[in-house]
Amino acid sequence: MNIVVFGAQWGDEGKGKLIDILSKNVDITARYQGGNNAGHTVIVGDEEYVFHLIPSAILHRHKVCVIGNGVVIDPQSLLKELDDLKKRGLNVTPGQFKIAINAHVVMPYHRVLDGLREGKRKHKIGTTGRGIGPCYADKVTRCGIRMVDLLNPKIFKAKLEDNLSEKNEIFRKAFGHKEYKFEEIYKEYINYGKMLKPFICDTALYLNEQIAKKKSILFEGAQGSFLDIDFGTYPFVTSSNSCVSGVCSGSGVPPTKIHKIIATVKAYTTRVGEGPFPTEFSSKMDNEIRTKGKEFGATTGRPRRCGWFDAILVRYALIINGADELAIMKLDVLDELKELKICTAYRYKGKTITDFPHDYEVVSSVKPVYETLPGWQASTRGIRDFSKLPANAKRYINRLEELLKVRIKYISIGSKRDEIIVK
């Protein structure tokens, strides 16, 4: 069975933990979009791992991990991840890790351009500054550099010269920034190509060959549905298709080969950076949940904004992604609250809205309509059976299931690998 795991909020939903759990029962785990702006955290015993490019399943030593063509790759960041794993006793081999030959490469000028553009904006988007957007922009405008180019010095030289001619003019005229020198980048990235060559292959062909051999694949999404370039709260989004629709274009696997889709959400809502957030807490509550839930970005360290569970937001994500099952993460963060609220509708100019609006002015101005439920004020840590959860915790989960109309199968009650309830 081939499974997709995606986030149904604004990212940081706990996908890394769920993927780590599910990957032990599949043969291959594949990333299909995003770049090193992702941050998937996995805790094994007392060890914490944060992955930005490498799929979380790499900790299962006999599984294969794939970076698909829809991912943009910063070679420097990727090599650091590989080196960090080696230092921690895990030497990743080409047999267990593969990189798409046609994945696009994040270049130094992409990172700088990302920061310079954000600095000039009157209304900040909240970019991670990793060069992801500019890299995808080059991909779309057909001037991007791909992994395969790093293996061909002649082609890479020609592409890099063309790109630097354009980019240096932008740096000079638009930002008054220093120009990049060809030789420095050329030598650095040719060397990256040599180091990564053993891992580079036609991953689309590989994945389809493995499917034909009855091997199972877990597709690992990055970011969240409401950061999707098409369906997210634009322009406060990422630059790729983080919805399930990105699986096929980002991996080369046809939709007929996807058998199950699992959505991941937090028991509340978080968002990093700028953009509308209808259910955002007041500052006191925000700080309380942020501290208890350790809500700081795994990639940037930025504090996450926190708020009540938004059923309107999540229901839309479940619909457009065709979710079959749902995982609720970080239920334990709510253990001490006297009462909880679920947003079941919005109010805008005297009207009730029950579908998520895409007009920026509307989504920025709506007032949430809440349903209030009693808290359970008891620890859920250590519980492994749904029936043994506090009555009000079960009531909260059951009400979410009613509102979202998708079966909740997984409930996380702690950060460690084994702290999960399978319902």
Looking at residue 391, its pLDDT comes to 98
Segment 179-216, tens digit of pLDDT: 899 999 999 999 999 999 999 999 999 999 999 999 99
Which residues on neighbouring strands pair with residue 7, listed in sequence order?
264
- The whole model's pTM is what? 0.92
In the annotation, is 62 catalytic? no
Catalytic residue among 12, 74, 114, 228: 12
| Between residues 336 and 60, the one the model is more confident about | 336
Query: Residue 132 has what pLDDT?
Result: 93
Is 40 a residue of the active site?
A: yes
Q: Is 190 helix (H, G, I), strand (E, B) or coil?
A: helix
**Spatial contact of 321 and 244, defined as CB atoms under 8 Å apart:** yes
Does 341 score more than 90 pLDDT?
Answer: yes
pLDDT value of residue 327: 98
Has residue 403 got a pLDDT over 70?
Answer: yes
Question: Which has the minimum average pLDDT: 110-114, 120-124, 232-236, 248-252?
Answer: 120-124
CB 327 within 8 A of CB 409: yes
Kindly name the residue from 20, 27, 40, 74 that is annotated as catalytic.
40
What is the pLDDT averaged over residues 108-114? 91
Q: What is the residue whose two structure tokens read 């909740």? A: 408
Residue bearing the bigger pLDDT, 21 or 186: 186
Region 63-83: mean pLDDT is 96
Phi/psi at 285 (5° precision):
-65, -40
Complete domains list, the chain, with CATH? 3-100+200-262 (3.40.440.10), 104-195 (1.10.300.10), 265-422 (3.90.170.10)
What is d(CA 342, CA 368) in angstroms, rounded to the nearest whole number?
A: 9
Neighbouring C-beta atoms of residue 143, cutoff 10 Å: 13
pLDDT averaged over every residue in the chain: 93
343 in Cβ contact with 312 (< 8 Å): yes
Residue 66 has pLDDT above 80, yes or no: yes
What is the Cα–Cα distance from 369 to 372, expressed in whole angstroms?
A: 10
| Distance from C-alpha of 389 to C-alpha of 17, rounded to nearest angstrom | 21
pLDDT of residue 128: 76
Mean pLDDT of 332-359: 96
- Distance (Å) of CA 49 to CA 32, 37, 91, 299, 360: 20, 15, 15, 12, 36
Average pLDDT for residues 393-413, to the nearest whole number? 97
pLDDT bucket at 299, cuts 50 / 70 / 90 = low
Which pLDDT value is given to residue 298?
66
Question: What is the structure's pLDDT at 31?
Answer: 95
